[in-house]
A and B are shown apart, each in its own frame.
Chain A
Amino acid sequence: QSALTQPASVSGSPGQSITISCTGTSSDVGGYNYVSWYQQHPGKAPKLMIYDVSNRPSGVSNRFSGSKSGNTASLTISGLQAEDEADYYCSSYTSSSTYVFGTGTRVSVL
């Protein structure tokens, strides 16, 4: 299984909105509504931000939202804040009963 494709980096100014894409295939992203997104600060474990494409766990800011179209899922961060600077990874369940992660995106707040 190949890693899902994400842009290496995305940046924005405080208050702006940014979107991170996550492209897979019909065997993973396109085939299931089981895309999740994780935020990872340096030296820390990943933290769940979005599950099942567009659902937020309790405690996650509503500035984070997710969507999907075909084989591409997206994470949007609105009202960008300094604390959002981190690495973000998408993940999808696959037709082989396995998981695949994205290549990761570094978000920078200018």
Chain B
Amino acid sequence: QVQLQESGPGLVKPSQTLSLTCTVSGGSISSGSYYWSWIRQPAGKGLEWIGRIYTSGSTNYNPSLKSRVTISVDTSKNQFSLKLSSVTAADTAVYYCARNSYGFLYFDYWGQGTLVTVSS
């Protein structure tokens, strides 16, 4: 059974870079053909897809965040990461990592989510 777990600082100062990691257990991040995504949800609001990385390392990003987002994968640690630069209070949200299989365009496994607050 695949499990995903987000980790990272819960508090980030405005204008700084938000960095989160998603650790995958129950399977190798590089085995099979999978996309690994980041999705966020401000308190009381809806879900927003941030971007994804394929097992090969290719990426796709939400156009509205593309200039500030970098998603990378570390196969040696079975992890993938999110970096969001120049954050503001509007980036305060619960951040989820999720998986979809190649050719299957839905998210079947999700992490539990981690709250990141942007505040000085």
Residues of B within 8 A of A (CB): 37, 39, 45-49, 52, 60-64, 96, 104-108, 110-113
7 contacts between A and B (CB under 8 A): A38-B107, A46-B96, A51-B108, A91-B47, A93-B105, A101-B47, A104-B46
Complex CA–CA separation, A37 to B76 (angstroms): 33
Say how far B54's CB is from chain A's closest CB, in angstroms: 11
Which among A3, A36, A45 is the interface contact of B46 at CB below 8 angstroms? A3
Taking chain B's interface residues, is the majority helix, strand, or loop, or is none over half, making it mixed? Answer: loop
Given contacts A1-B64, A45-B113, A96-B63, contact A104 B108 (CB under 8 A): no
B114 to chain A, nearest CB (A): 11
Q: Tell me how far the C-beta of B40 lies from the nearest C-beta in chain A, rounded to whole angstroms.
A: 10
Is B46 touching A99 in the complex (CB atoms < 8 A)? no
Q: Which residues of chain A from 39 to 59 have a CB within 8 Å of any chain B CB? A: 44-48, 51-52, 57
Tell whether A67 is near chain B: CB-to-CB under 8 Å.
no
The answer to whether B106 and A91 have CB atoms under 8 Å apart is yes
Is the beta-carbon distance between B47 and A1 smaller than 8 angstroms? no
Q: How far is the CA of A57 from the CA of B100 in the complex (A)?
A: 13
How many of A's residues come within 8 Å of B, CB to CB? 26
- Residues from chain B with a CB closer than 8 A to the CB of A57 are 108
Within the assembled complex, what's the spacing in Å between the Cα atoms of A91 and B39?
12
Instruction: Enumerate chain A residues within 8 angstroms of B49, measured Cβ to Cβ.
Output: 91, 98-101
Residues B112 and A45 in contact, CB atoms below 8 Å apart: yes
Given the interface contacts A45-B96, A89-B46, A89-B47, does A97 sit within 8 Å of B60 by beta carbon? yes
Residues of A that sit less than 8 Å from B by CB: 1, 3, 32, 34, 36, 38, 44-48, 51-52, 57, 89, 91, 93, 96-104
Given contacts A97-B60, A100-B49, contact A51 B110 (CB under 8 A): no
Contact residues in A for B39 (Cβ distance below 8 Å): 101
Q: Are A45 and B47 touching (Cβ within 8 A)?
A: no
Bound complex: CA of A38 vs CA of B111, how far in Å? 14
Complex: A93 Cα to B5 Cα, angstroms: 24
In the complex the two chains form, what is the Cα distance from A100 to B39 in whole Å? Answer: 10
